[in-house]
Chains A and B, each alone.
Chain A
Amino acid sequence: MFFSKKKFRLASMIACGILASALFTGCGEQSGGGGEKAAGDEIVVGANFELTGNHAQYGANANNGLKLAIKEVNDAGGIGGKKIKIVEADAKSEAAESVNAATKLISDDKVVALVGPAVTANVIAESQVATDSMVPIIAPAATNPDVTVENGKVKPYVFRSCFIDPQQSEVMAQFARKDLMANTAVLYLDSSSDYSKSLGKIFKEHFEADGGTVVMEEAFLAKDQDFKAALTKIQTANADVIFVPAYYEEVGKIVKQARELGINAAILGTDGWDDSKVTDIAGKDALNNTFFCTHYFEGDAEVQPFIKAYKAEYNNDPNVFAALGYDAGKMLVNAIEKGGNDSQKIRDNIEAITDLQVGTGKITMDAATHNPIKGIVVIETKNGVRELRTKIAPVSPEAEK
């Protein structure tokens, strides 16, 4: 007999399981309401974030920030009597899936604008779809210059709510040379991340242009646990600073293991460091003599309303992805408020944003590059407490060139 009763029962159990899991996924993708088509009294926007996969921790946080911004406006009565509805889709931490999710949101859910994904590669992948369908995207945390500009021309429908990598590297290279008086530097990069590699490259250009020398370049991979072999090698270079532009999970472990090996040099980083988990992972003492640049300083007065609202909503501290997701949400809300209920008007309004107060400060959209003009802060950690070291005023990305 091909199907004994027992086997058949098992097969049907598995089939049920698969169906049930399909059902779960369905729920996840359509939370935020019945999942029906846009009713007349709702404005539908799409949230395309990495909710599963390697970048889920970034996507999920940015998504939380966005949801908070939208919830605030809905709780206050919506815009002109209309509520904003978020339809979520999962970019699954892959470029191809990001395109699928964007296509679904645009063609099935008829969203008027998209926010996300969090990671550069996934935004670049979806930007073609958005441009073809003429639906604006706001990328909260994609800091690579290529996100909004292609072959020297600005992508008309792609915007972001964060500064760009060259600015971060330039700030940190100058900081290393002028504030820390460093002559030599080691780059320790995540070779699985374009973010890390491009930051490293630009840091090297600026650091060497300012008269410093990069004496060694080493690499690791995201999700690595043990960094001691490369760190032992880095120790032999005896450099003044070590530049580690990477994300907090690896950064925490790198700093911890470096200090365990007796490396006392200053360790520098970028906005990927900005998460309170770094302190949990590395420990307070290890983080002394580390500096990173980021989008906002949590002690700044103008950031307090956002931090308070986020804590009330989610019962934990926001990280930088949550803050940028919130900023993207604020920009979108502002664009809709100024009379945008179709994609084209929203696009025009985003491009025209001037001196808008968002969660992390005031921003103005640069129409030539679609990068916001906003400040950068350099933060020093002392005994586990973050202190503002320097604040670099907003500069137009154009003016730098």
Chain B
Amino acid sequence: MDFAHQLVQQLINGVSLGSIYALIALGYTMIYGIIKLINFAHGDVYMVGAYIGFAAVTIGHLPIFPALLISMALTAVLGMLVERIAYKPLRHAPRISLLITAIGVSFFLEYTSMYFVTPTPRTFPEVMPNISFNLGGFIINGQQLLILGITIVLMAILTYIVQKTKLGKAMRAASFDTETAQLMGVDSDRVISMTFCIGSALAAAAGVLVGVYYNTIDPLMGIMPGLKAFVAAVLGGIGILPGAVVGGIVLGVVEALVAGFLSSTFRDAAAFAILILVLLVKPSGLFGKNTNEKV
């Protein structure tokens, strides 16, 4: 295999890995956009989503798409509950209290799940045919194409909601200034609740798809992808939806190239070096502008 061939294969690997980061980063960035909270529990909501999907497939004997929808719906409710119980009482507290609470919620979800589902990893039954395409020596996986497709579709739908609908307008207003928006008749609490609802549904979609693709889920599966998605969101400009997708894919490609051409030991170091670099050089991220209109 020559260099050019390996390079192309690594780009394919990178884009497919990045599309997963992007899918998780979408929910991350959306929640940050509205209430300026880095929701560290997002990775764990993703894990819960994966388990609900798993239960729907194995206990409920449902095909994958109904299972995906059920998981998104139930996880959306979980997201709203988390917001109502853990974050809402801290609406006017300093930002740092919220952040610490988010870490607490993260541990709470991880270890409550571990108590109920045991730490043993579960394997998804084969619910989707796993076809690999061989295009002139390059291997592309069908499920990966699906994940990339779903990511882009969800990004488009979200952008539409945020930019074109009444709810989106309310979101942008609440993001700009919660209290003023409230004075203008926007029900900020409802808007924030909806944001968590949508963000958590996205995390659930990611959880189920990743569970199906990699074939295993476990109660701690959300930690690393959650962190990587955070890097992706910051890289793209936290709070900006297309930024999350581009950030995710760039991160995936960088990881694949570092692992492929330098050393696989440096792969995670490279991912977090990107985070540090972005924060030093352009804290607003690739797509960041100095406007306050971030959603």
Residues of A whose CB lies within 8 Å of any CB of B are 7, 10, 24, 52, 54, 56-57, 60-61, 191, 218-221, 223-226, 228-230, 232-233, 235-236, 249, 252-253, 256, 260-262, 277, 280-281
Contact of A230 among B16, B225, B264 (CB under 8 A): B264
Q: Let me know if B1 and A223 touch, CB within 8 A.
A: no
Q: How far is the CB of B117 from chain A (nearest CB, A)?
A: 11
Chain B residues 67 to 95 lying within 8 A of chain A, measured CB to CB, are 89
- Count of A-B residue pairs with CB < 8 Å: 102
Q: Let me know if A57 and B264 touch, CB within 8 A.
A: no
CB of B260 within 8 A of chain A? yes
Cα distance, A136 to B111, chains bound together (Å): 31
Q: Which B residues are CB-close (under 8 A) to A252?
A: 123, 215-216
User: Can you sample 19 A-B contacts with CB below 8 Å?
Assistant: A56-B119, A57-B120, A57-B121, A60-B118, A60-B120, A223-B223, A225-B224, A226-B13, A226-B17, A228-B17, A229-B258, A233-B259, A236-B1, A253-B215, A253-B216, A256-B215, A261-B139, A281-B123, A281-B215
Residues of B whose CB lies within 8 Å of any CB of A are 1, 6, 9-10, 13-14, 16-17, 20, 89, 111, 114-115, 118-121, 123, 132, 134, 139, 141, 210, 214-216, 218, 220-221, 223-225, 255-261, 263-265, 267-268
When C-beta atoms are compared, the residue in chain A nearest to B89 turns out to be A10
Cα distance, A280 to B58, chains bound together (Å): 14
Contact of A260 among B119, B141, B216, B256 (CB under 8 A): B141
Q: A60-B118, A225-B214, A232-B10 are in contact. Are A220 and B264 (CB under 8 A)?
A: yes
Q: Which A residues are CB-close (under 8 A) to B210?
A: 225
Most chain B beta carbons < 10 A, residue from A10, A235, A236: A236
Cα distance, A357 to B128, chains bound together (Å): 46
Contact of B259 among A229, A236, A260, A280 (CB under 8 A): A229
Dominant secondary structure at the B interface: helix
When C-beta atoms are compared, the residue in chain B nearest to A188 turns out to be B264
Cα distance, A61 to B10, chains bound together (Å): 38
Cα distance, A57 to B132, chains bound together (Å): 31
Q: Which B residues are CB-close (under 8 A) to A225?
A: 20, 210, 214, 221, 224-225
Contact of B216 among A219, A233, A249 (CB under 8 A): A249
Q: How far is the CB of B108 from chain A (nearest CB, A)?
A: 8
Cα distance, A135 to B215, chains bound together (Å): 43
Q: Let me know if B259 and A52 touch, CB within 8 A.
A: no
Q: Which A residues are CB-close (under 8 A) to B214?
A: 225-226, 253
Cα distance, A52 to B116, chains bound together (Å): 12
Q: Which A residues are CB-close (under 8 A) to B115?
A: 24
Q: Which B residues are CB-close (under 8 A) to A223?
A: 220-221, 223-224
Cα distance, A56 to B258, chains bound together (Å): 31
Cα distance, A56 to B119, chains bound together (Å): 6
Q: Which B residues are CB-close (under 8 A) to A261?
A: 9, 139
Q: How far is the CB of B262 from chain A (nearest CB, A)?
A: 10
When C-beta atoms are compared, the residue in chain A nearest to B225 turns out to be A225
Q: Let me know if B139 and A229 touch, CB within 8 A.
A: no
Q: Which B residues are CB-close (under 8 A) to A277?
A: 120-121, 123, 216
Q: Let me know if A228 and B13 touch, CB within 8 A.
A: yes
Q: Let me know if B139 and A56 touch, CB within 8 A.
A: no
Q: Let me know if B123 and A221 touch, CB within 8 A.
A: no
Q: How far is the CB of A9 from chain B (nearest CB, A)?
A: 10
Q: Which A residues are CB-close (under 8 A) to B118?
A: 57, 60
Q: How far is the CB of B8 from chain A (nearest CB, A)?
A: 10
Q: Let me know if A233 and B264 touch, CB within 8 A.
A: yes
Cα distance, A258 to B119, chains bound together (Å): 26
Q: Which 9 A/B pairs are nearest by Cβ-Cβ distance?
A: A56-B119, A229-B259, A280-B123, A230-B264, A229-B256, A228-B13, A219-B265, A218-B264, A57-B119
Q: Let me know if A233 and B17 touch, CB within 8 A.
A: no
Q: Which B residues are CB-close (under 8 A) to A253?
A: 214-216
Q: Which A residues are CB-close (under 8 A) to B1?
A: 235-236
Q: How far is the CB of A139 from chain B (nearest CB, A)?
A: 20
Q: Which B residues are CB-close (under 8 A) to A57?
A: 118-121, 218
Cα distance, A219 to B258, chains bound together (Å): 12
Q: A229-B264, A230-B264 are in contact. Are A236 and B17 (CB under 8 A)?
A: no
When C-beta atoms are compared, the residue in chain B nearest to A316 turns out to be B120
Q: Let me know if B260 and A191 touch, CB within 8 A.
A: no
Cα distance, A219 to B20, chains bound together (Å): 22
Q: How far is the CB of B252 from chain A (nearest CB, A)?
A: 8
Cα distance, A277 to B118, chains bound together (Å): 15
Cα distance, A24 to B48, chains bound together (Å): 21
When C-beta atoms are compared, the residue in chain B nearest to A226 turns out to be B17
Cα distance, A43 to B17, chains bound together (Å): 53
Cα distance, A263 to B60, chains bound together (Å): 36
Q: How far is the CB of A360 from chain B (nearest CB, A)?
A: 21
Q: Which B residues are CB-close (under 8 A) to A224?
A: 224
Given contacts A225-B210, A249-B218, 12 further A-B contacts (CB under 8 A): A56-B119, A60-B119, A225-B20, A225-B221, A229-B256, A230-B260, A232-B260, A252-B216, A253-B215, A260-B139, A261-B9, A281-B216
Q: Which B residues are CB-close (under 8 A) to A7?
A: 89
When C-beta atoms are compared, the residue in chain B nearest to A6 turns out to be B89
Cα distance, A218 to B115, chains bound together (Å): 35
Cα distance, A277 to B261, chains bound together (Å): 32
When C-beta atoms are compared, the residue in chain B nearest to A248 turns out to be B121
Q: Which B residues are CB-close (under 8 A) to A235?
A: 1
Q: Which B residues are CB-close (under 8 A) to A249?
A: 121, 216, 218
Q: Which B residues are CB-close (under 8 A) to A280?
A: 123, 215
Q: Which A residues are CB-close (under 8 A) to B267?
A: 229-230
Cα distance, A148 to B240, chains bound together (Å): 55
Most chain B beta carbons < 10 A, residue from A224, A232, A253: A232
Q: Which A residues are CB-close (under 8 A) to B256?
A: 228-229, 232
